[in-house]
Structure 1
Amino acid sequence: MASGSDGNSTYIGSEKTHILVDAGISNKKIETRLNELGLCGKDISGVFLTHEHSDHIAGLEVFVRKNEIPVFASRGTLEYLKDRDKYSRIFDYFNIIDSKNNIILGDLNIKAFDIDHDANEPFGYRVECGDKKIAVATDLGRYTKDIVKNLTDLDALLVEANHDIRMLETGPYPYELKRRILSNKGHLSNENSGKLICEILNDKIKKIFLGHLSDKNNLPELALESVRFEIFADDRHYNPKDFDIEVAKRDALSKVCYV
């Protein structure tokens, strides 16, 4: 429903169960984009937070309070929110989860997995419904064997392609911010996004969204070209034209993917 430096929120659902990963846009935008999907806030069974940065929680308090929806996140994320009075009216909806247990909501099986980012216990998420499997993995400075394991055998994926390294290095950001973004707890570059995708490609994957693009240090066409080049150059000899890859829209509903 939105993916970029200014706000992030992803809808995942079946015919019976509907969830959001992050609520980093306004309540009004969340409701408007759910309406475009034929849903409303009351239809959401849970909000799963990746971490506590503002571009992932900006609309959380209003959306949860109005719709009385449970919130699931790591202990570190929720303790951060509990230290801020703004969220006091939704504390009762908080549910601590960890990366060892699965959460069952209706017919969805949701598994959190650890990622590397400069936040309090950040998560990615893998969601399964029957034999269908999708995942969300953004805000990660690097990928590990455990992350690759959690992204295997997928039907669809939203993965970070945050920046072009050369644009970042020569761009307007101060040195310290550049160093943070390039660190192992920063953000995944276009090239590394492509390398991660190469690790988890399979013959059944139907859709790959590239998400969380920087508005200052990236371009949609550059992200796409970089990822396609990594697939083309990889030893596994996949053809990038065989995969449906697109950049998730920054502030609008992206194309709906059905698996």
Structure 2
Amino acid sequence: MKVSILSSGSEGNSLYIEGERQRILLDAGLSGKKIEERMHSIDREMKDVDAIFVTHEHSDHIKGLGVLAKRYGCDVYANEKTWCEILEKYPKIPKEQICCIEPGEVKLLEDLEIEAFPVSHDTVNPQFYTVRQGDKSFVELTDTGYCSERLYQQLGNANMYLMETNHDVNMLRFGPYPWHLKQRILGDTGHLSNEDGAYALGEMIGNQTKNVFLGHLSPKNNMPQLAREVVTDYLTKKDIPIQNGIQLHDTSPAQASPLIEVI
């Protein structure tokens, strides 16, 4: 199984995962053209994608969904409540491509197993995904303001994570956003800060974990180096080896990450 983060951030979110027989996207939050370009940059084609799994209805996660679904005819998965919101924006998605996956449900697509789990975000029914192939697993966990102990146990010891480190709290508090938006981001249905993301990783990663992507960074309230330093410092204090044991990777809204094998 291989993963590329095609884009991560408030400008748009999408990632590509391939097994030996199945290829999927998690979200399509860039324009259809940009997603096609990001796929080309990693030597892959949208025409080979079998399914798109949607996490929630915010535009930075579904912007290109309507175009890609109609152009390539792939199945699209989301939960029922999220579908109601999606179809308000993209009513022409063909009915035969509409597939449901609810929180707690597992879908098996040949050699890939996709499990949905609920998160705390200000949308109708947000969920993210664990993708498994055999004994290897990848967890995507962004766009949540809070993580429960149950979630830590459920998502523990994955081989690879995409973890939200959205903002530095002080940069957000003293930054240009209006107060109501700051409150939203800082709340339990908003986004995880660098410290929150570091803590979540400390609760979840185990001896199988080899790679961690730091994702959904705010362009105005965070910096990649700062997020990396906070996570590195926190995990080091917990005696969790960084670089020699676990590799930390930046993500970008402007370019796809190289395809990395889940090991």
Give the TM-score normalised by the residue count of structure 2: 0.94
Is the 1:126–1:150 contact (alpha carbons within 8 Å) kept by the matching residues of 2? no
Secondary structure of the equivalent of 2:213?
A: strand
Structure 1 stretches of at least 4 aligned residues deviating more than 4 Å after TM superposition: none
CA-CA distance at 1:202 after TM superposition: 1.4
Q: Which residue of 2 aligns with 1:33?
A: 38
Q: Which residue of 1 aligns with 2:176?
A: 172
Q: Deviations over 1:133-177 (max 9, x none)?
A: 111111000111232123212111101100000000000000000
CA-CA distance at 1:87 after TM superposition: 3.0
Matched AA of 2:257: S
Is the 1:190–1:223 contact (alpha carbons within 8 Å) kept by the matching residues of 2? yes
Give the TM-score normalised by the residue count of structure 1: 0.95
Provide the rounded CA distance (Å) in 1 between the counterparts of 2:37 and 2:135: 30
Secondary structure of the equivalent of 2:261?
A: coil
Q: Which residue of 2 aligns with 1:98?
A: 102
**Correspondence 1:6-21 to 2 at 5 A:** 6-21=11-26
Provide the rounded CA distance (Å) in 2 between the counterparts of 1:90 and 1:184: 35
Counterpart of 2:242 (choices 240, 243, 247) is 240
Secondary structure of the equivalent of 2:228?
A: helix
Q: Which residue of 2 aligns with 1:67?
A: 72
Secondary structure of the equivalent of 1:88?
A: coil
Secondary structure of the equivalent of 1:83?
A: helix
**Correspondence 1:1-150 to 2 at 5 A:** 1-84=6-89, 86-150=90-154
Q: Can you give the 5+ residue segments of structure 2 that lack an aligned partner in the other structure?
A: 1-5
Considering only aligned residues, what root-mean-square deviation do their CA atoms show, in Å?
1.3
Secondary structure of the equivalent of 1:72?
A: strand
Is the 1:118–1:185 contact (alpha carbons within 8 Å) kept by the matching residues of 2? yes
**Correspondence 1:190-229 to 2 at 5 A:** 190-229=194-233
Q: Which has the higher contact order (CA 8 A, sep 6+)?
A: 2
Is the 2:69–2:93 contact (alpha carbons within 8 Å) kept by the matching residues of 1? no
Matched AA of 1:52: E
Q: Deviations over 1:68-94 (max 9, x none)?
A: 01111111210112233x332334422
Q: Deviations over 1:46-79 (max 9, x none)?
A: 1001100000001110011000011111112101
Counterpart of 1:256 (choices 232, 254, 259) is 259
Q: Can you give the 5+ residue segments of structure 1 that lack an aligned partner in the other structure?
A: none
Is the 1:82–1:91 contact (alpha carbons within 8 Å) kept by the matching residues of 2? no
**Correspondence 1:151-166 to 2 at 5 A:** 151-166=155-170
Matched AA of 1:186: G
Q: Deviations over 1:5-64 (max 9, x none)?
A: 100001111121110000001111211222233321121111001100000001110011
